[in-house]
Structure 1
């Protein structure tokens, strides 16, 4: 029988975060509803903590949102932060921050909230139907994307450098959340963020390990800003080459955590020309349904 305290097997292979081979086995655990045995390993070179060889992910995502009790609250707070950040960018003429795309959007709540307040945001998710954001699923056209977001996605990604290269790339503004461990700390087996029961969380970064991932993805670690969320420290993050965006993120985070966005946004959003997309989006959705119904059936 494998328990949270079962001694792990020796960990072999390279670290998926830095490519190093200084891997230390931490403990063996059971993950997902299938109770698959998995090894928690720590890279002493880059401080990355991860579940090795995650072969159980198809089973884990059969119930995508099971146990994700923070989904609604997280998206409400994220929408407030992004609305204020993007408004500051418009006021300061920092450069194009739209269209935007929410990676791993789930039901599509975040882009729906942003569109309701006038922002041109879309969503993508390989494991969800994105009911709330249809028909604005998928990347927004062939042009450049001004802002990408990924709330509670990084801990699901087996190789962060590859994710940053492929999904973020040269995007000027990337806002995301993941709970970062203090550098060098390996939480005990009962740490809630492991969420071994559903088996979806496989990567547990510290700031040090994440900066290593950025470097391997061709990004300057100085572009990273980490701020506290409303509940957890070191939970909200931004990657931006522009120092103005980094300063704006700190300001927006401080104002939102104090609830001051509720006083500012009702008059700032109309000031920068934002108008709700609720009714226009309804017409787009109805037109796409009509067009689909009028297509001839396949022979």
Structure 2
């Protein structure tokens, strides 16, 4: 099988049962380091529900990611800018970022916007943003490079998360991120894999091991690294004194729309 990312020949890694019924082969690309499933014929079934029931870390994860994201975006853009969360799920990240004061909007063709109603991409009034984000999305994509390219057609900076691994390939019994029960995680990345995507697309690449950034512009590595440390809390406090939450403003805006 050829790698869906770099098109080079892959090597067989292991087989595992996915969604308790499909015996699926996984392959490692020696060239770019991507680990991926065979052609994912089960995806329609896997996405009967956009978010799997077993994702108990959804809320805690979004809070943590929003803290790191706030540090990075404020460092780059200050209190200004307009941002878009791609594949935004129920709208939790958009709501969290608006609560902190960022002008954030939601987009997801496969999931209902529950928590950020009134702040979808159609409400933003623009097609280009200062930055776009996508949290826990890249591992769901059949063609990750195409997704990155499309994301960067909307902004010059793309902030995302995906769990990265180091070779040797993690044992199927030891790495939760395979998420065999859900069937939605179909490709996995190493640091060198993400670096290759950036090189192929002529982008700068920054990472703190959890939060990753592809950008057409240079960004201070120090703030990306700081966002994962305990100093993040001090920086967030400093930011909170320079930004105004949109909670009440959004409330009044939504009420006025209903009244019209």
Q: TM-score, normalised by structure 1?
A: 0.78
CA contact (8 A) 1:50 1:203 kept: yes
Q: Which has the larger radius of gyration?
A: 1
| Residue 164 (structure 1) aligns with | 148
| Residue 6 (structure 1) aligns with | none
Q: 1:97 to 1:215 in 2, by over 3 A?
A: farther
Equivalence map 1:225-240=2 (5 Å) = 225-227=206-208, 234-240=209-215
Q: 1:24 to 1:97 in 2, by over 3 A?
A: farther
**Unaligned runs of at least 5 residues, structure 1:** 1-11, 228-233, 292-299
Equivalence map 1:75-114=2 (5 Å) = 75-90=62-77, 98-114=81-97
Query: Relative contact order (C-alpha < 8 Å, sep 6+): which is higher?
Result: 2
Deviation of 1:209 (Å)? 1.9
CA contact (8 A) 1:41 1:51 kept: yes
Q: CA RMSD in A?
A: 2.2
| Residue 37 (structure 2) aligns with | 51
2:14 to 27, 34, 41: 27
Deviation of 1:113 (Å)? 0.9
Distance 1:214 1:268 in 2: 30
2:218 to 243, 253, 264: 243
> Structure 1: which 4+ aligned runs deviate by more than 6 Å?
none
Deviation of 1:57 (Å)? 1.4
| Residue 253 (structure 2) aligns with | 284
Deviation of 1:114 (Å)? 1.0
SS across alignment from 1:209:
helix
Deviation of 1:287 (Å)? 4.0
Q: TM-score, normalised by structure 2?
A: 0.88
Distance 1:121 1:168 in 2: 16
CA contact (8 A) 1:32 1:200 kept: no
Distance 1:152 1:77 in 2: 13
CA contact (8 A) 2:128 2:154 kept: no
Distance 2:120 2:196 in 1: 31
